[in-house]
Chain A
């Protein structure tokens, strides 16, 4: 079945550091790939979304590139702020489907 792997459980950075969160996926389809962000006490919010029609998603300074060759969808940001502290989830939805498959999540802590 479809799966998403986020190996980094927690990332701790200082403000203005570069962020890289690893995400790889496995599916037999050409999925839509998404990053969601979850702040304490809230539901996941869409951060960015990439379909097969476009390779890269950019939102609020975050970007992720859909790499079919390496089946990766890593999340990057050039300079993090304390307000970026949250849990980030990578997800996929297979073509013709509606069931989102989420990774385990990566908790980002940014120290001022």
Chain B
């Protein structure tokens, strides 16, 4: 059974619209992340949440808003979509380490491929 579920697998949107990308993890992890992968850039960190609190936001645009309704959910709302937002968005999760040197592995979901026309 998949441990990290991302829905939908594919998404086509028109410029200016709003979409929500869903992520659920069943690994019992307390930290969740969003990354973006496009043809122009490698896998790029966007957000991290720990115990449902935002820890880091590396996304310049406020059009991207993570939403965590439950400990194992971290959805990504994208508003005013632009063609440049076309990419594959990956959700990941990990168990926060016990100390700064204990970096636990991040596990990635299968991704949502977004195409903005």
Contacts and interface: CB of A to CB of B under 8 A. Distances in A.
A93 B103 contact: yes
Interface in A77-112: 89, 91, 93, 95-105
A43 B109 contact: yes
A105 B42 contact: yes
Contacts of B101: 51-52, 95-96
- Classify chain B's interface size: 20 to 34
B12 interface: no
Name the prevailing secondary structure of the B interface residues.
strand
B1 to A, nearest CB: 15
Interface in B84-117: 90, 92, 94, 96, 100-101, 103, 105-111
B100 A95 contact: yes
A104 B48 CA distance: 21
Interface of B: 4, 31, 33, 35, 42-45, 48, 50, 55-56, 58, 90, 92, 94, 96, 100-101, 103, 105-111
21 contacts: A36-B108, A41-B110, A42-B111, A43-B90, A43-B92, A43-B108, A43-B111, A45-B108, A49-B105, A51-B103, A52-B101, A89-B42, A89-B43, A91-B43, A96-B100, A98-B50, A98-B106, A99-B45, A102-B42, A102-B44, A105-B42
